[in-house]
Amino acid sequence: MRRAVWIFALAAFAICGVFAVEAESLPVANDGRLADWAAVLEQRSEWPQKCRLQSACAFDIMLGGVKKGAMTLPKGTLVEIRGVSGEFLQVSAAGLTGSVHYASTDLASFMKLPEQEESKPAAVPVVPDGGDVAAAPLPPYQVLPFGDIKPDGWIREQMLRDITSGNASYLEKMRPLGAPVTPGSGRGYGEFEGNFADAIIRNALLTGHQPWLVWAKRIADFLVAQQDEEGYVGRKRPADFEDLADKEGELWGQCCFLRAFLAYYEYSKEQKYLDAAVRSVDFMISLFGKDKNKYFVGESTMEGGARAHGLMYIDVLEKLHQLTGDKKYLDFAFRLYGDYSNSINLKNTDHQLSSLLDKNSLFLHHAPHVAEHSRVVYWLSTETDDPKLKEAAANSLSKLKASLSPSGGLVTDNKILESVGGNPGSPDLRYEYCSITESAISMESAFQKLGDPATAESAENIVFNAAQAARFADGKAAAYCSKDNQSQAAGDPDSATFRLQYAACHRIACCVYNVNRVMPYYVSNMWMKTGDGKALLAAFYGPSVLNTKLAGTEVEIRQQTLYPFEEEVTMVVNPAQDARFDILLRDPSWSKETRVVADGAEQSRENGFIRLSKQWTKGDTIKIQFAPGVEVKTTHGGECYVKRGALLYALKFDHSSEATKKWEGTDFANYDTRLANKADAGKFSDSKFPPEPVAGSPLFTYSRNPDASARFPFDTPFGFIRGPLLFEGKPVDESLVPIGSTVLRKTSFGK
């Protein structure tokens, strides 16, 4: 190794934990005073130096030399000592910079780690090269090929409006992207291009919108045409990957494009697209596979986040393993996860195996990394009999759910930019749109692989609540960061607060490219097959059309519904020929007594599902009647919020929007949004629930809005929950509306 790794043992005035101590001692000063610290530290000419905490350690969070707050790092956190200044150690940890005061700390020891620490840290070993996959049971459910399920009704209308008149229709002009998306551009193959390509391809193929179908094919064909003789497609052709210094975003950029590319193959079924994807991935395996260079382990300590994003290349490996059955893709996935878990050069380490096995700590790091990385562990846990990976998957899901707001947004710390920061879910903390998208996809994946119907409800909550609340209903703007309790959404376009605006295109545009990925993934997971492939499962509800094969028989099922705005779902089953098979219907926990009518079908209830067994004939119907009540739930902080069925309700405030940036000749802009009535500031801060509210009591009644639109049900509140709130100690009749029909709102209320 070029640089020795050093480790400290500190015991400071209530702010410092104990650093790992191992191996041979170095001479230390005797009196433990500041001068001795400085003398020892300044002997070390090479910075930074790394160590892992042996117990919890708190440190001051610094930004631009200004203290922004403090946090406690848990045992096992990788800490990077960047230098010494006066009475402080300059520290980098958990993706943050800060300082530790040591002026009065005894210098107990100053130790050198064994040389193997950098290549093999004290992490729990992962299953090598796939482990004993033969013993792994099948996951509960199977995903269907992309394109087997298409949107209908209000979901299709929202998707079409978004891509024809929403900001997605103009993003390419607001911020030109790389050549795969914007023809003639000399720019590269990065996250923005790949995620927007994913949105273009999936929305085009699912809605059939002709201009976007042309665009989608052009992107897919461009990628095939640009592939070199070895199969490489990416930002630039490295002369020698073994020594590539800036490999930071290589796998991440490829992942974003290949996810889209494989969706195009699944829909078109043209072999040339699958062949191109296989060649591309096989080339990367030749560079980073067994006994090759490790992607996550290297000399650079300046990992900025893109390298850890590269773990999501496993999305591509999972899809190729599903499509081809070739075990080499599974083996490479285990190799990548093993390298990631054992790396000490990464900021975003919440999903390293050693971190996940600590079930008592919440996630700390960048929320989109947390959200996306979770599904890596979900998949790998189903492909091995290793109990540690299964425990890690369960812990990951538990931690993820623990940090979701009532609407399903993965919260971030007020002082730590975009990071979860160990916070439990709260309506007063912001959530990033990138993590909304990734959390929804990961929850859908968790349901498919782990089988708990409560996880499907979590996914549904994100899609119908957080994902709608953080955007304008007409699709013309979205918030980079939003929150459930929000009295304004305004910021300085030239500072970090730009994230608070509802904007057609933010200065940093990752989130607006993710908005239009939410619904295509939701739609594509509405139906699944059971693990044995013999039955169909309605995982998620909404207007849609399924066309798939079951035991060799073509089956069409149409969901006719306004769900989640109405309680009725009618399914029309059209097999190509009479066929006997089972259909499982997810029975939501919020439905007090779900009734199902399916003539001639045997019905049974099992583990949160209703199973229907019969010989199905073209035109058979299934009528589902859910029974939602008004539910009062409690936040981690003890406040109350209201749900009915899959929808979260909020007190809506009138708002005024001031454009801070406009695109000439269009109606697209970035907005500062504030309360229209200043008097509402008091209502926002002081409104409370009446004492001891009871779910379903006469305090709260639901009614449908006669002016609501069945085509665009979020434009105007589809229904109201009416009841008294306390303001200045007096009851005031108020109406709560679905959070997706609000911009400024209050969702939780103290008692």
The pLDDT tens digits for 152-198 are: 999 999 999 999 999 999 998 998 888 788 877 766 678 999 999 99
**Residue 59 clears pLDDT 80, i.e. is over it:** no
Tell me, yes or no, whether 435 lies in a domain.
Answer: no
- Is 713 strand, coil or helix? coil
Tell me which of 45-54, 305-314, 671-680 is least confident: 45-54
Task: Return the pLDDT at 494.
Answer: 82
Q: Is residue 14 located within the same domain as residue 107?
A: yes
Per-residue pLDDT reduced to its tens digit, 491-539: 988 888 999 999 999 999 999 999 999 999 999 999 999 999 999 999 9
- Per-state percent for the chain, helix, strand, coil, to nearest 5: 35, 25, 40
Residue 741 contacts residue 705 (beta carbons within 8 Å): no
**Residue 21 clears pLDDT 70, i.e. is over it:** no
Tell me, yes or no, whether 59 lies in a domain.
Answer: yes
Phi, psi of 617 (to 5 degrees): -125, 150
Looking at residue 279, the DSSP 8-state letter turns out to be H
- At 404, the pLDDT band (50, 70, 90 cuts) reads very high
CATH number reported for the structural domain that contains residue 584 in this entry: 2.60.420.10
Looking at residue 25, the DSSP 8-state letter turns out to be B
- At 726, the pLDDT band (50, 70, 90 cuts) reads very high
Tell me, yes or no, whether 572 lies in a domain.
Answer: yes
Task: Return the pLDDT at 586.
Answer: 98
Comparing CA positions, the residue from 294, 289, 291 lying closest to residue 328 is 289
Comparing CA positions, the residue from 335, 248, 240 lying closest to residue 290 is 335
Q: Is residue 611 located within the same domain as residue 681?
A: no
What dihedral do alpha carbons 463, 469, 475, 481 form, nearest 10°? -100
Phi, psi of 43 (to 5 degrees): -70, -20
Residue 355 CB contacts under 8 Å (≥ 6 apart), including other chains: 76, 349, 361
Phi, psi of 245 (to 5 degrees): -75, -35
Tell me, yes or no, whether 416 lies in a domain.
Answer: no
Task: Return the pLDDT at 359.
Answer: 87
- Point out which residues pair with 733 in neighbouring strands: 724
Q: Is residue 602 located within the same domain as residue 675?
A: no
Per-residue pLDDT reduced to its tens digit, 313-353: 999 999 999 999 999 999 999 999 998 998 877 889 999 99
The residue behind tokens 């609407």 is 407
Tell me which of 121-135, 257-271, 287-301, 626-640 is least confident: 121-135
Report CA-CA distances (Å) from 357 to 94, 118, 373, 453, 505.
18, 21, 15, 24, 39
CATH number reported for the structural domain that contains residue 289 in this entry: 1.50.10.20
Tell me, yes or no, whether 455 lies in a domain.
Answer: no
Task: Return the pLDDT at 181.
Answer: 85
Higher pLDDT, 39 or 379: 379
- Mean pLDDT, rounded, for 91-105: 56
Cα–Cα distance measured from residue 75 to residue 94, given in angstroms and rounded to the nearest whole number: 12
Per-residue pLDDT reduced to its tens digit, 594-639: 999 999 999 999 989 999 999 999 999 999 999 999 999 999 999 9
Tell me, yes or no, whether 332 lies in a domain.
Answer: yes
Q: Is residue 673 located within the same domain as residue 739?
A: yes
Domain containing 699 equals: 642-746
H-helix or E-strand containing 124? none
> Using only C-alpha atoms, what is the Rg of the chain?
27
Tell me, yes or no, whether 258 lies in a domain.
Answer: yes
Q: Is residue 544 located within the same domain as residue 648?
A: no
Tell me which of 123-132, 216-225, 285-294 is least confident: 123-132
- Mean pLDDT, rounded, for 727-746: 95
Q: Read off the amino acid at residue 385.
A: D
Comparing CA positions, the residue from 316, 314, 365, 361 lying closest to residue 340 is 314
Residue 24 contacts residue 111 (beta carbons within 8 Å): yes
Please identify, among 313, 347, 381, the residue that sits at the C-terminal boundary of a domain.
Answer: 347
Q: Is residue 608 located within the same domain as residue 668?
A: no
- The stretches of 32-114 forming alpha helices (DSSP H) are 34-42
Establish whether the linkage from the previous residue to 48 is cis, with ω within 30° of 0: yes
Higher pLDDT, 63 or 608: 608
Residue 529 contacts residue 611 (beta carbons within 8 Å): no
Please identify, among 320, 347, 374, the residue that sits at the C-terminal boundary of a domain.
Answer: 347
Higher pLDDT, 242 or 638: 638
- Is 555 strand, coil or helix? strand
Count the Cβ atoms, other than its own, within 10 Å of residue 7: 23
Task: Return the pLDDT at 299.
Answer: 47
Count the Cβ atoms, other than its own, within 10 Å of residue 678: 8
Cα–Cα distance measured from residue 699 to residue 722, given in angstroms and rounded to the nearest whole number: 8
Q: Is residue 647 located within the same domain as residue 674?
A: yes
Comparing CA positions, the residue from 171, 107, 94 lying closest to residue 475 is 171
Beta strand 579-586 pairing with 535-538: parallel
Task: Return the pLDDT at 15.
Answer: 29
By CB atoms closer than 10 A (0-12, 13-18, 19+), residue 593 is: exposed
Q: Is residue 648 located within the same domain as residue 609?
A: no
Cα–Cα distance measured from residue 156 to residue 207, given in angstroms and rounded to the nearest whole number: 7
Count the Cβ atoms, other than its own, within 10 Å of residue 337: 24
- At 238, the pLDDT band (50, 70, 90 cuts) reads low
Residue 402 contacts residue 481 (beta carbons within 8 Å): no
Comparing CA positions, the residue from 425, 247, 480, 485 lying closest to residue 345 is 247
Cα–Cα distance measured from residue 410 to residue 424, given in angstroms and rounded to the nearest whole number: 9
By CB atoms closer than 10 A (0-12, 13-18, 19+), residue 114 is: exposed
Percent of the residues in the chain that have a pLDDT greater than 70, as a whole number: 77
Task: Return the pLDDT at 751.
Answer: 86
Cα–Cα distance measured from residue 181 to residue 189, given in angstroms and rounded to the nearest whole number: 9
**Residue 266 clears pLDDT 50, i.e. is over it:** yes
Phi, psi of 338 (to 5 degrees): -65, -45
Count of domains in the chain? 4
Q: Is residue 332 located within the same domain as residue 189?
A: yes
Residue 624 contacts residue 559 (beta carbons within 8 Å): no
SS (H, E, C) 573-632: EEECCCEEEEEEEECCCCECCCEEECCCCEEEEECCEEEEEEEECCCEEEEEECCECEEE
Tell me, yes or no, whether 438 lies in a domain.
Answer: no
Task: Return the pLDDT at 183.
Answer: 77
Task: Return the pLDDT at 40.
Answer: 46
Per-residue pLDDT reduced to its tens digit, 408-456: 999 999 887 799 999 999 999 999 999 999 999 999 999 999 999 999 9
**Residue 544 clears pLDDT 70, i.e. is over it:** yes
Task: Return the pLDDT at 382.
Answer: 95
Q: Is residue 737 located within the same domain as residue 597?
A: no
Q: Is residue 555 located within the same domain as residue 671?
A: no
Beta strand 719-727 pairing with 502-503: unpaired
Q: Which two tokens stand for residue 414?
A: 């007020």
Please identify, among 87, 117, 147, the residue that sits at the C-terminal boundary of a domain.
Answer: 117
Q: Is residue 103 located within the same domain as residue 208?
A: no
- What mean pLDDT, rounded, does the chain reach? 84
Looking at residue 540, the DSSP 8-state letter turns out to be S
Q: What is the largest CA-CA distance in the chain?
A: 88
Task: Return the pLDDT at 187.
Answer: 65
Comparing CA positions, the residue from 371, 238, 346, 368 lying closest to residue 296 is 346
Report CA-CA distances (Å) from 78 to 237, 242, 354.
33, 25, 12
pTM: 0.85
